[in-house]
Amino acid sequence: MITLDQYNFAGKKALIRVDFNVPLNSAYEVTDDTRIQATIPTINKIRKDGGAVILMSHLGRPKDGPTEKYSLKHLVKYLNDIFQTSVQFADDCIGEEATQKAAALKSGEILLLENLRFYKEEEKGDVAFAEKLSKLGDVWVNDAFGTAHRAHASTAVIGQFFKDRVCGYVMQAELDNAQKVLENAARPFTAIMGGAKISDKILIIERLLDKVDNLLIGGGMAYTFFKAMGGSIGSSLLEADKLDLASELIAKAKEKGVSLILPTDSIIADGFSNDANSQIADNKQIPDGWMGLDIGPDASEEFAKVIENSKTILWNGPMGVFEFSNFAKGTIRVAEAVVKATENGGFSLIGGGDSAAAVNNLGFGDRVSYVSTGGGALLEYMEGKVLPGVKALD
């Protein structure tokens, strides 16, 4: 795999797959620029070499072709400010305007193409569509780790049309940090798994049982474990078809000598709302009509103690419904513990998605070792799957 530092872009037009799938508010302003910020070093390296930059990305999930709220034109002013230049925009990602603007692009200039997903061919991995895109540049750079698990036209299929295929800095950092956790973890190694469902995390949990010392499980998925252990969980989230699996995972952890730690208590509510009545309950004795929406104070402190004594930490998924301020305390306490462990010399990888949002929203993004930009892609990579967007770079 060719990395960015091994390649000189002088006189080249670099067609870069970036992940600019960022949240916008009703005024089309960027509300979280983490993914854009991550790509700045890649873009600046190419411009410094004397190359021209053509950016392609998706935004959202448009269903029926061009849609105003998913247009990448809303990012142009923002990119102008970041790169202190006039970023050009093509109102299509293929076609005459894109072709002409790409051909006329000079060294150091930046062109942003319209949303790739305005064409259904992008997600279908259409070869003809990928070939049309490929004609815009001399070299393909894949820096969109967040979509590397998708065999889309711009993330994987396009690679066959380029002699020169280069791994961007974001992609390289994601792969390096994932490998560091998977293959070179300092001990004790603690994985924190949260989120709603065990079914989303089965493969990663099973793989981690061969690698970690401690596995902390919070979030909605914890209640299926308690139900499997014979507890009363009220109306908490339950995957009834995964009860046997939960029991198997508990047995496997014991067999492999992994300390699988479930939260002893929860902050429970009588409704799914920030304003619902709440109280603290033992996780095996949640009353009927009440649901667990956050790990409780005892669990928060137990988790924090394990985390703070760890040398490698992988965190994927919140501990509760952290979007509700009254049920965010557990996630905040875990985030604080991860920061403390990092400051004590540990290595912490925050696994994208909601956990990345939580860490960044709390202002802890620069106080942990690495915040992944790709939730689903990171999980699949750690599960041992071959990512099409990575394979296309080989």
CA-to-CA dists, residue 296 to 196, 328, 392, angstroms: 16, 10, 45
- C-alpha angle with apex 125: 203 to 169, nearest 5 degrees? 65
DSSP 8-state assignment for residue 24: B
336 is an annotated ligand-binding site residue: no
Where do the DSSP E strands lie in the chain? 2-3, 13-17, 52-56, 88-90, 110-113, 139-142, 165-167, 189-193, 214-217, 232-233, 259-261, 265-269, 278-282, 285-286, 291-295, 312-316, 347-350, 370-371
Q: What is the Cα–Cα distance from 386 to 90, expressed in whole angstroms? A: 33
20 is an annotated ligand-binding site residue: yes
248 is an annotated ligand-binding site residue: no
61 is an annotated ligand-binding site residue: yes
354 is an annotated ligand-binding site residue: yes
59 is an annotated ligand-binding site residue: yes
372 is an annotated ligand-binding site residue: no
Q: Which residues have a catalytic role annotated?
A: 35, 197, 353, 376
- To which residue do tokens 């967040």 refer? 146
323 is an annotated ligand-binding site residue: yes
353 is an annotated ligand-binding site residue: yes
35 is an annotated ligand-binding site residue: yes
Q: What is the Cα–Cα distance from 151 to 134, expressed in whole angstroms? A: 16
Q: Count Cβ neighbours within 10 Å for each residue of 204-242 and write b for 16 or more, e otherwise.
A: bbeebbebbbbbbbbbbbbbbbbbbeebebbbbbbbeeb
Answer yes or no: are the C-beta atoms of 173 and 198 closer than 8 Å. no
Which residues does residue 260 pair with via DSSP β-bridges, in sequence order?
Answer: 215
Answer yes or no: are the C-beta atoms of 80 and 57 closer than 8 Å. no
187 is an annotated ligand-binding site residue: no
165 is an annotated ligand-binding site residue: no
150 is an annotated ligand-binding site residue: yes
275 is an annotated ligand-binding site residue: no
292 is an annotated ligand-binding site residue: yes
Please spell the DSSP secondary structure of 270-321, one letter per residue. SSSSTTS-EEEEETTEEPTT-EEEEE-HHHHHHHHHHHHT-SEEEEES-SS-
CA nearest neighbour of 135 among 76, 54, 59: 54
Can you say which residues are annotated as belonging to the binding site for substrate?
19-21, 35, 58-61, 117, 150
- Binding-site residues for ATP: 201, 292, 323, 352-355
Task: Point out the annotated binding site.
Answer: 19-21, 35, 58-61, 117, 150, 201, 292, 323, 352-355
What are the binding residues for (2R)-3-phosphoglycerate? Answer: 35, 117, 150
